[in-house]
Amino acid sequence: TSIQILEKANFKALDETDTSTNWSELPAGNYYFTRNQSSIVAFVKPKNFKQGNGFTIMGAHTDSPCFRAKPITKQEKQGYLMVGVEKYGGGLWHTWFDRDLSVAGRVMCKTKKGAESRLVRINDPILRIANLAIHLDRSVRDGFK
């Protein structure tokens, strides 16, 4: 994981919610913090850092087109369990149809302590998005535009 890579490179975790730590008083070193189990920020405070001299920021963003399961959409028809989905990102959606799909991402679970966010990954193919029958979408013969 990204955290393992950073810790192997001697980066120290910070808790951005810890108000007892004044980050401007941190000694020189390598640091990182995470937010919402979906973002990670790493930075290096150099030995010769002087407050007010400025600094350089580099950023990166990764995004994967996907279909997101809509909350509370479970339906069962003719022995099939169906889940409502919505597209996310700019995908080539027709390539997803009629193929085995697995599930991965963040889910919210109800626990004794309340709601809890968990990351899941199911490697086995458990879903399929069916292509419409040709008589239901005659424009499919027009090609991609």
Q: Give residue-wise pLDDT tens across range 70-82.
A: 888 889 989 888 9
Q: Are 99 and 128 in contact (CB under 8 A)?
A: yes
The residue-averaged pLDDT of 7-24 equals 91
48 pLDDT more than 90: no
CA–CA separation, 72 vs 87, rounded Å? 16
Q: How far apart are CA 31 and CA 3, in angstroms?
A: 11
CA-to-CA separations, 118 to 46, 93, 145, in angstroms, rounded: 35, 27, 39
Residue 86 C-alpha from the chain's centroid: 15
- Distance (Å) of CA 106 to CA 32, 45, 68, 93, 120: 22, 32, 10, 22, 6
Is residue 25 over pLDDT 90?
no
**Residue 16, Cα to own-chain centre: how many angstroms?**
20
- The yes-or-no verdict on residue 145 having pLDDT over 60 is no
Task: Look up the pTM and report it.
Answer: 0.58
